[in-house]
Amino acid sequence: MILDLLRHGETEQGGGLRGSLDDALTALGWAQMREAVQAAGPWDRLVSSPLQRCARFAEELAVQLDLPLSLEPGFQELHFGDWEGRSAAELMLTDEAGLGQFWADPYAFTPPGGEPVAAFSARVLEALARVQQAHAGERLLLVTHGGVMRLLLARARGLPREQLLQVEVRHGALCRLALQADGQWREPS
C-alpha cells in the first residue's frame, strides 16, 4: 500500500494552533494544495479529514480525478483545548511554562482542556488501520493536518516521542509512506 500525505494549505485565520477550528483555505492555501498534487499520483482513492480546510480540496480533487472519497474523522488535527486559535507568541506571554513543556515532550503535557497526544496518536493509528484494512494494496491520498503528518512521519522515521514536534511539515506539503512487508510504514528511499 502507498499512502501519500497532503497537508492542507494556508487558512483564513492564519497561523497559530488551529486544532479543531474549522476555518477555510485562503486563495494561497488552495494554490499550495493544487501545486502539490500537480505532478503526483496516480491514486486509487482519496481519504480526508472532514474539516473544511482539508475536505473542500479533497472533494474538488475527487471530482477532477473521478476518484472515490471518504471523510475520516480519525484524521482530524489534535484538539488544543484552551490553546486553539492562539499563536506560540501569544502563549509565550500567557503560558510560557506549559508551552515549553509541550514542546519538550508533547506526550507528557496536554494543553489545558486539550486532547492528550497519546489519545490523538491512538485515534490516528486506529483510523490508519481501518483504511489499511479496507484498501489493502491501493494507492491513497490522505488530505490531512500537520499534526497527523508529524505523527505518521515520526513513526515511519523511528523518532523518539519527544521529537514529534521537530518534524517539519509546511502548508501544502506532500509526503509518501509505503507499507512494508513487516507491517511498518516507511518513507520510500
Give CA angle at 92 (150, 84), nearest 5°: 55
Give CA angle at 128 (75, 32), nearest 5°: 45
Query: 95: which 3 cell numbers?
Result: 503560558
Q: What's the pTM?
A: 0.96
pLDDT at position 67 is 98
Query: 57: which 3 cell numbers?
Result: 480540496
CA distances from 159 to 125, 136, 154, 165 (A): 16, 26, 5, 11
Answer yes or no: are the C-beta atoms of 86 and 96 closer than 8 Å: no
CA distances from 32 to 6, 101, 138, 179 (A): 10, 32, 25, 27
**pLDDT tens readout for residues 143-152:** 999 999 999 9
Q: Where are the alpha helices (DSSP H) in 66-145?
A: 88-94, 96-104, 117-134
Answer yes or no: are the C-beta atoms of 29 and 165 closer than 8 Å: no
Could you say which of 3.40.50.1000, 3.30.470.20, 3.40.50.1240, 3.40.190.10 is the CATH number of the domain covering 2-186? 3.40.50.1240
Percent of the chain past pLDDT 70, that is, above it, reads: 100
pLDDT at position 109 is 97
pLDDT at position 15 is 74
Residues in the chain predicted with pLDDT less than 50, given as ranges, are: none
Domain ranges of the chain: 2-186
pLDDT at position 14 is 76
pLDDT at position 144 is 98
